[in-house]
Chain A
């Protein structure tokens, strides 16, 4: 917990990573200065793109003592405003899960290799990033925790599966290899409450460590303070749940 007598410092900058297929991708990293060692968080941005909210969230994790990194999963679409880049991705039906997982793996490996890292790393994502968190928990190596914020399409019908998204994350529940924190609004349409129930039951049946927190009078994206779906009480409590979870799981 922060107290006013602490010295505080961080550096935040854009760096390059070698991601999926050997591609050079950008990543935004914010980290406390000092010997640490610090635990880490990899942020998986949502379909609206590698945007300001994710950069601010990256710095927020650093403010709380974590090395935080957010890779640009849309690097292959070139550069422009985050919305324009994301519109191209939306038009193309998203990016392939396998590519995202390889980019996330690169970010995890990078932060785990830093000399002031504890190599205890969590993955965090909202919306489509929440869905990717559930895939990463099963497929990415070196994770100590996962935070799924209102990830939709964890449950997918056979008709929803395609070349880019060949597997429903819930079908990988047995392979989930780290504790999961889930935050959901009960008024969300994607994922709807009954799908969150099913997801929770699957984690429980598989004997996985998880904790789901669900909020009334909150829907999708209740932490997005720049959008009308923002719900102050749920957002404040949700962040508190995140700090508590990370403290317990990453130390």
Chain B
């Protein structure tokens, strides 16, 4: 792990980890040696819960080319939602 290229964002959402669903607090994106993918460097995405109750994570290790395709795919899907005037929800729904 020698590039130390990393970027972090605060995030809201859910991810399904080893012990079931958890609430995401942070997403960490790095381009560095992966733990598992057979690549020297990978675009690593960690969906994380950094909570007092403990740390949870699900991860993906992608080729750089596939990561760029993923960006396009996300933009395409959200763009279609906008064009169909489907609201892009940013607020967590509160249970009544």
Min Cβ gap B4→A in Å is 6
A83, B59: Cα distance in complex, Å: 10
Give A203-229 interface residues, CB cut-off 8 Å to B: 219-221, 227-229
Min Cβ gap A48→B in Å is 6
Given known A87-B46, A93-B6, contact A127–B55 (CB-CB < 8 A): no
Contact for B40 among A84, A87, A90, A189, CB less than 8 A: A189
Q: Does the CB pair A47–B48 fall under 8 Å?
A: no
Min Cβ gap A23→B in Å is 19
Interface size class of B (residues with CB under 8 A): 20 to 34
The stretch from B27-35, B62-70, B77-85, B86-94 touching chain A is: B27-35
Q: Does the CB pair B2–A90 fall under 8 Å?
A: no
Given known A91-B8, A152-B2, contact A48–B35 (CB-CB < 8 A): yes
* Complex interface: chain B residues within 8 A of A131 (CB): 2
* Complex interface: chain A residues within 8 A of B44 (CB): 90
Contact for B33 among A48, A94, A153, A160, CB less than 8 A: A48
Interface centre among B28, B33, B44, B46 (most CB of A within 10 A): B33
Q: Does the CB pair B4–A94 fall under 8 Å?
A: yes
Contact for B55 among A84, A93, A128, A191, CB less than 8 A: A84
Main secondary structure on chain B at its contact with chain A?
Answer: strand
* Complex interface: chain A residues within 8 A of B59 (CB): 83, 87
- A139-161 interface mask toward B, CB cutoff 8 Å, 1 = contact, 0 = none? 00000000000001100000010
A128, B59: Cα distance in complex, Å: 22
Interface centre among B6, B28, B38, B55 (most CB of A within 10 A): B55
Interface size class of A (residues with CB under 8 A): 20 to 34
A219, B41: Cα distance in complex, Å: 12
Given known A83-B35, A189-B41, contact A78–B2 (CB-CB < 8 A): no
Which chain B residue shows the least CB distance to A150? B2
Residue B76 interfacial (CB < 8 Å): no
Given known A48-B1, A152-B2, contact A90–B32 (CB-CB < 8 A): yes
Which chain B residue shows the least CB distance to A228? B38
Min Cβ gap A196→B in Å is 13
Which chain A residue shows the least CB distance to B1? A47
9 contacts between A and B (CB under 8 A): A48-B33, A83-B59, A86-B1, A87-B48, A87-B57, A88-B55, A90-B1, A91-B46, A127-B33
Q: Give the 4 A-B residue pairs with the shortest CB-CB distance, closest first.
A: A152-B2, A47-B1, A91-B28, A190-B2
> Which residues from chain B sit less than 8 Å from chain A, CB to CB?
1-4, 6, 8, 26, 28, 30, 32-33, 35, 38, 40-41, 44, 46, 48, 50, 55-57, 59
Task: Please give 6 more A-B residue pairs, beta carbons under 8 A apart, in addition to A90-B1, A91-B30.
Answer: A48-B1, A88-B48, A91-B46, A128-B1, A131-B2, A221-B33
> Which residues from chain A sit less than 8 Å from chain B, CB to CB?
46-48, 78, 80, 83-84, 86-88, 90-91, 93-94, 127-128, 131, 152-153, 160, 189-191, 219-221, 227-229
